[in-house]
Amino acid sequence: MSKTSVVEKWVEDAAALTKPSKVIWADGSKQEYDRLVEDMLRDDTLLELNQKTYPGCYLHRSHPQDVARTEQLTFICTREKNDAGPTNNWMEPAEAKAKAGAYLQGSMSSRRMWVIPYLMGPAGSKGSRTGVMVTDSPYVVASMHIMTRVGQVAIDHMRADDDFIAGLHGMGDLSPDRRLILHFPEEKLIWSVGSGYGGNALLGKKCHALRIGSYQAREEGWMAEHMFILGVEDPEGRITYFGGAMPSASGKTNLAMVVSKLPGYRAWTLGDDIAWIYVDAEGQLRAINPERGFFGVAPNTSAATNPNGIKMVRSNTIFTNVAMTPSKEPWWEGIGTEAPAGTMDWQGRPWAPGGTPAAHPNSRFTVPCSQCPSIAPNWEDPQGVPISGFIFGSRRTNVIPMVFESFGWQHGVFLGAAMSTETTAAITGQVGVVRRDPMAMIPFCGYNMGQ
């Protein structure tokens, strides 16, 4: 694999800090993914599920204290505090590097460091961006294979030697007391230590595509938004595309994969979580999905709530923190069937109804977009799709009407900015507390939202 001098120098610096036993460059091939899976099966990082009913599917159980995004340990590290704004945690860059550097120093001495060049967005798109992350977690490498485009395609897409977001991830000892997720938007840099959970460790996702992405987008004149992309085809074959902003664990994935009940109508999925939006030369608003996979919430995903999702995860899927039945099939609350006797919970303990949940409320599935039955044929179009409207949604059990329409674009911006939602299991902390979440971006906006 060809590399740039800037990338190689950054990798050398990361290795000098973490002191890995070996450095491996990921090439993104199926052979590499298969080797990763074999290694993780040997050391029980992955458990093999029933290969007859769930071919290519595996279960990962994370540390009990490492099951969700940790917003209180997530920081925007700009030189000026005001540039992070009132909705972000801020830490001075030198202080942040000193704290995290102490946790990362020599942390990979008995582990291998993987270098993952990855592309966010379709190959050939002017809107796509390259990242290079290093990690000592094979689970993260395998997940990045699914969630992004890994390998030479990312290097080829760089417009200059330094045209990439650098991400350093180290597992550390997984203690919340030594966990930090740090973003340095002015340096195009991410540091994450002490967590192996997807939202904290898959640096291409929330860290790059939203927090650093939103900062870059503001500087460059586009938008990085916490949105699904959905196409609705009418009986005449015309497709209208929408972006939909909803907080985590509030139904974005289910709505993005909806099956229309209206005769002659069909819904097409283009993305379930992140949209990069820009205005083209003709003044048309267009969006691309920067991701290649889905990292969806498992509980309450069923044949009734998301039939496309249930079909999608029947093969080539990594499940995280779901329960496992005696026949080695995944199970979670709301799947639509009763858990058989002998089911093991998400921590590998015997489980019986009436106590704690069998699957963690934030248990997940990681699966390629291409497996979704409703995936749009043009989901990887380098030009993106034209956006005609936006949907804002949230999780509220009272007060807010179920469905209502804005009076116009300006009123729609006001409604999106005034969104409120009840907190969910996607983050650590109390569930069900109402908080303001403008545009569903409160945990993900990398700049001063007041500006």
pLDDT of the residue at 427: 66
What φ, ψ does residue 145 adopt, rounded to 5°?
Answer: -55, -40
Pick the closest to residue 124 from 261, 288, 248 (CA basis): 288
Residue 337 has a CB neighbour count (10 Å cut-off) of: 10
Flag whether pLDDT at 425 surpasses 80.
no
List C-alpha distances in Å: 225 to 29, 208, 286: 30, 12, 12
Q: pTM here?
A: 0.96
Mean of all residue pLDDT scores within the chain: 96
Mean pLDDT on 281-309: 97
Domains along the chain with CATH numbers: 5-43+69-221 (3.40.449.10)
User: Dihedral of the CA atoms 192, 195, 196, 198 (nearest 10)?
Assistant: -70
pLDDT tens column, 410-420? 999 999 999 99
More confident residue, 425 or 366: 366
Q: How many alpha carbons fall within 13 Å on the CB side of residue 160?
A: 3
Q: How far apart are CA 437 and CA 247, in angstroms?
A: 8
**pLDDT tens, residue by residue, 104-159:** 999 999 999 999 999 999 999 999 999 999 999 999 999 999 999 999 999 999 99
User: How far from 95 is each of 73, 90, 145, 364, CA to CA, in Å?
Assistant: 14, 11, 33, 33
DSSP state of 338: P
Distance CA 284, CA 161 (A): 31
CA–CA dist 200, 193 (Å, integer) = 9
Question: H/E element holding 391?
Answer: strand 385-392
Q: Do 305 and 344 meet the contact criterion of CB atoms below 8 Å apart?
A: no
